[in-house]
Structure 1
Amino acid sequence: MESIAGKLLVASRELRDPNFTQSVVMMIEHSPEGALGVILNHPSTTSVSEAWAQIDGGELEDDTPVFVGGPVPGPLIALHAIEDLGEKEVLPGVFMSVQRDVIEKLVLAPDTRLRLYSGHSGWGAGQLEDEMKAGGWHIVSAEPGDVFADQEQTEDLWQYVLERMAIDIMLPGVPHNKLPRDPNMN
């Protein structure tokens, strides 16, 4: 199977795993050895300020939630828009970083497009492919706005991406930025 790194994995209505109900996963890695991504639309109740106080002990004013990237524990993962601090380009204009010193620079930088994820979503060799064959997931092209959506858009991201997928099927080749976010606005 062709790699789906840099694309969205969107939970189907049939997916029953409570960790992934109505989730949209940004795929960071995908190879024959396995896959890794972060859930874009599961904000936690912990703010970036609260998380940073636990990590660094310093004060920071940022009420943005840290997102639950998935059920697999691991280091904080940052998705951001600063190329010079990116350890990997996930999609054009979106970079990933996990190094603590880089995340500190990102957190302290003013007006940074940034999302922090605690944990990640991971699959062993062939596991994700089996779930896709069983109808658990849809693959959709990713856009930077999916990663950096505001709170209201994040809450509706699953539905929005499914609608975008339907538009891609019904109107292939029409750029999404030429269509209103709300189809009722046509």
Structure 2
Amino acid sequence: MKSLEGQFLVAMPDMADERFAESVILIVGHGEEGAMGLVVNHELANLRFADILDELDLGDPDAVIRLPDDIRDRAVMRGGPVEKGRGFVLHSGDYNSGNTYKITEEIGLTATLDILKAMAFGPAPQAALFALGCCGWSPGQLEDEISANGWLTVPFQRDLLFEVPVERRYDEALASLNITRATLSTEAGHG
């Protein structure tokens, strides 16, 4: 199977693992060592970007209070069940801290304090999504799950990641394949 890096996974309705029910995951790495991704459509309840910044030493204890509401109130995604205390930022390709992993020309992944400071105080990427935790698959595991009809693959769409409201991302990912929840079958078409 060719690399799925930079593509979305969309959970099938009969996903056995409830942690991934109705999930849309961006694959940020995929190769012989396995795969890694971030859930991009499940917010952590009662946690905002300002809460994360409050926990960090930014040098100025009042800095977070002075941030505009749109930055303070930015959602935090539940990126996955692995490394749940670690932050990851998916962002537009215009930002590169030197610690940025370039997924495609359009999108990068940065997991250092630099990106959080840039998001809060600038210069920030044009678009960014912050997640705690990630998803991981051992070698061959993701391929097996796809073959077993656990996931659909969807080509990368910048608007799906950054523009579509979080609660609509699952349906919009399906719509990009001309599928709706009502027409999505849980039976594989091997026959």
What secondary structure, in the 3-state scheme, does the structure 1 residue paired with 2:26 have?
strand
Q: Is the 8 A contact 1:5 1:28 kept in 2?
A: yes
Q: Is the 8 A contact 1:97 1:103 kept in 2?
A: no
Q: CA separation in 2, counterparts of 1:67 and 1:55?
A: 18
Q: Deviations over 1:119-151 (max 9, x none)?
A: 00111111111111110001110111122135x
Offset of residue 80 of structure 1:
1.4
**Corresponding residue to 2:178 among 152, 162, 166:** 166
Q: Is the 8 A contact 1:83 1:93 kept in 2?
A: no
Q: Is the 8 A contact 1:77 1:97 kept in 2?
A: yes
TM-score, normalised to structure 1, is 0.81
Q: Any runs of at least 4 consecutive aligned residues in structure 1 with deviations exceeding 4 A, and if so which?
A: none
Offset of residue 110 of structure 1:
6.4
Aligned position for 1:113: 127
Aligned position for 2:150: 136
Q: CA separation in 1, counterparts of 2:10 and 2:87?
A: 22
Q: Which amino acid aligns with 2:122?
A: A
Deviates more, 1:123-132 or 1:58-67: 58-67
Q: Which amino acid aligns with 2:22?
A: Q
Q: CA separation in 2, counterparts of 1:56 and 1:144?
A: 32
Q: CA separation in 1, counterparts of 2:95 and 2:88?
A: 15
What secondary structure, in the 3-state scheme, does the structure 2 residue paired with 1:2 have?
coil
Instruction: Name structure 1 gaps, 5 residues minimum.
Output: 168-186
Aligned position for 1:93: 106
1:28-43 matches, cutoff 5 A: 28-43=28-43
Q: Which amino acid aligns with 1:131?
A: E
Aligned position for 1:12: 12
Q: Please, what is the CA RMSD of the aligned residues?
A: 1.9
Identity of aligned residues (%): 28
Q: CA separation in 2, counterparts of 1:160 and 1:31?
A: 27
Instruction: Name structure 2 gaps, 5 residues minimum.
Output: 180-191
Q: CA separation in 1, counterparts of 2:120 and 2:38?
A: 18
**Corresponding residue to 1:76 among 87, 90, 101:** 87
Q: CA separation in 2, counterparts of 1:137 and 1:70?
A: 16
Residue 103 in structure 1 maps to residue 116 in structure 2: yes
Q: Which amino acid aligns with 1:139?
A: T
Q: Is the 8 A contact 1:12 1:138 kept in 2?
A: yes
What secondary structure, in the 3-state scheme, does the structure 2 residue paired with 1:67 have?
strand
Offset of residue 21 of structure 1:
0.4
